Amino acid sequence: MFCDGQQSSIPGARFATVALDQRKGETIGWVVVRTPKPLSPEQVASLNDIINRTTGSSVILYVGSVITAETSREGYIYEPKLLPPDEQPRIPNETPQ
């Protein structure tokens, strides 16, 4: 998945949906990715930079990761990898529990 060599960074990841919207003069992109592990903020930043360079504009990018496993009769092709509890993403300004 991803352009400019990003595909190899997450084997098994695929774009599921892409939506763009204009709000208050800003372009906002929502992308849903089916992937065996969540995209990190660094990977989203890299993807956002690629989109900005390619389009020549500034896009605010939000990515949703839908965790999936690809399986054949021989076993998992891409097995889901969930984050340990202490590495779970937190909503900004959310107090830890």
Q: Looking at residue 71, what is its pLDDT? A: 84
Go through the domains of the chain in sequence order and give each one's CATH number.
Answer: 7-87 (3.30.300)
Render 37-82 in DSSP notation, one character per residue: SPPPHHHHHHHHHHHHHHHTS-EEEEEEEEE--EEETTEEEE---P
pLDDT tens digit sequence for 2-60: 444 444 467 888 999 999 999 999 999 999 999 988 899 999 999 999 999 998 999 99
In eight-state DSSP terms, residue 28 is E
